């Protein structure tokens, strides 16, 4: 049903999808995420992305701060895809973490970031250079170069 709504662009379903995603975000954060819960969340997130459903800022922040790396990646992807500039400060720390979330965070920061975000990335890049973290340094420099 969700896939059909997303593929056929049933925009009437947007408020219901946003509300259900709100409940699922908090359910996933509260419990150890089962495969069924993760599958349901993924379908909702896909539909929200396809229909450009404006998700609640608090829900996306909860995803960005989740312990589960898949949830953090989903939150960062939402920020990048929906161009959520108000959440850049929340997504920025994911740039210097490992995992899929750092990829989406770097996308968001490189496309929407401002001077304060570039400054934070430079500080981390210099620290990575000093401590010999070459891969992190490369990733941060790549993000900075994409910012312009």
Give residue-wise pLDDT tens across range 50-62.
Answer: 777 778 898 899 8
Largest distance between two CA atoms of the chain: 53
| HSE-up (13 A, CA, CB side) for residue 94 | 35
Structure tokens at 122: 């430079």
| pTM for this prediction | 0.79
Element (H, E) at 131: none
| HSE-up (13 A, CA, CB side) for residue 47 | 25
* pLDDT tens-digit map of 11-70: 566 777 777 777 777 777 665 556 777 777 777 777 777 777 778 898 899 889 888 888
- How many Å separate Cα 100 from the centre of its chain? 9
What is the pLDDT of the chain when averaged over all its residues? 84
Rounded-to-integer distance, Cα 128 and Cα 124, Å: 6
Structure tokens at 143: 């993000």
Q: Do 102 and 94 touch, CB atoms closer than 8 A?
A: yes
- Measured CA distances, 85 to 123, 130, 132 (Å): 21, 31, 32
């Amino acid at each position: 049903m969700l896939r059909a709504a997303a593929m056929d662009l049933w925009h009437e379903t947007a408020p219901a999808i946003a509300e259900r995603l709100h409940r699922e975000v908090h359910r996933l954060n509260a419990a150890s995420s089962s495969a069924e819960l993760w599958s349901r969340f993924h379908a909702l997130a896909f539909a929200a992305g396809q229909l450009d459903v404006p998700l609640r800022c608090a829900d996306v922040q909860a995803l960005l701060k989740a312990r589960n790396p898949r949830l953090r990646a989903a939150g960062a992807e939402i920020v990048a895809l929906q161009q959520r500039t108000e959440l850049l400060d929340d997504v920025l720390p994911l740039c210097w973490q490992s995992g899929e979330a750092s990829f989406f965070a770097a996308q968001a920061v490189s496309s929407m970031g401002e001077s304060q975000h570039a400054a934070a990335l430079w500080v981390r890049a210099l620290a990575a250079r000093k401590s010999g973290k070459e891969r992190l340094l490369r990733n941060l420099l790549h993000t900075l170069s994409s910012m312009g």
